[in-house]
Chain A
């Protein structure tokens, strides 16, 4: 049996890789990909905790399941927004999106 911590280490690394990507990528889609990484790592954590710590129950399992569904929804809306931005500005570089300060 593999130790639970190993899984957690993998998911933590994945999460911070995602955060790193979110902070450094300049393309909106790339940032969104990083967000997917973060979400995915959280899913792994849910599943692992359920499997190892509360084997008789299903909360973690369903959380992961729902999180997948929600991330699908979030991606769809985000991509719709990005496409809209692209239509308006002809690119999706985040440095052009500083209108948020107004």
Chain B
């Protein structure tokens, strides 16, 4: 197996993602967890870029890394006091979670690797934004105007719901 630049980039990204993910669920400080989540999201955006989905990567960066993480940070600042640390887990619970997760991971990987997928083809080349826009606004087959509208209504509902739930009474 020859080592290409692609592969190297991927390995770096993958390591970055996996390490950040693990750190984000094991760190004691919640603000750090949010930061590691940011790293994971950025790494994911990197994977999208590598797969030549620049638009998706950009969205990932904008919405996830830019928007949601900020939301997290603010809510953490609102709800946690200085030096707030996660309690130490009881051993039993820790092992129960770990064992269950590892077992599930093993099975999942086993199933996935054993599965015969369709023959993968990788076509280089960027997906043009114009095409995405047309598909998003089209009403034909493979047009996504209905889900788009549904999502927009959902977002509106969430804005209203978020305000209603979080406002002071």
Contact = CB atoms under 8 A, between A and B. Distances in A.
Touch A–B, Cβ below 8 Å: yes
B139 interface: no
Contact of A10 (B18, B37, B51, B105): B18
Given A6-B14, A76-B158, A37 B24 contact: yes
What is the predominant secondary structure among interface residues of chain A facing chain B? helix
B71 A75 contact: yes
Contact of B87 (A26, A36, A61): A26
A44 B48 CA distance: 8
Nearest to A64: B56
A16 B104 contact: yes
B7 A73 contact: no
B53 A51 contact: yes
B56 A17 contact: no
Contact of B25 (A34, A57, A58, A87): A34
A17 B22 contact: yes
Given A10-B18, A12-B108, A40-B40, A70 B151 contact: yes
A23 B101 contact: yes
B83 interface: no
Interface in B1-59: 4, 6-7, 10, 14, 17-18, 21-22, 24-25, 30, 33-34, 37, 40-41, 44, 47-48, 50-53, 56, 59
Contacts of A72: 63-64, 67-68, 155
B34 A82 contact: no
B11 to A, nearest CB: 8
A29 B104 contact: no
Interface of B: 4, 6-7, 10, 14, 17-18, 21-22, 24-25, 30, 33-34, 37, 40-41, 44, 47-48, 50-53, 56, 59-60, 63-64, 67-68, 71-72, 75-76, 78-80, 86-87, 89, 93-94, 96-98, 100-102, 104-105, 108-109, 112-113, 117-118, 120-123, 127, 131-132, 135-136, 142, 144, 147, 151, 154-155, 157-159, 161-163, 165-166, 168
29 contacts: A5-B113, A6-B10, A7-B10, A8-B112, A12-B108, A12-B109, A14-B40, A17-B18, A17-B21, A18-B21, A19-B101, A20-B25, A24-B89, A29-B30, A29-B79, A34-B25, A40-B40, A43-B44, A44-B47, A47-B51, A52-B122, A66-B147, A72-B64, A73-B155, A77-B161, A80-B161, A80-B165, A83-B166, A93-B87
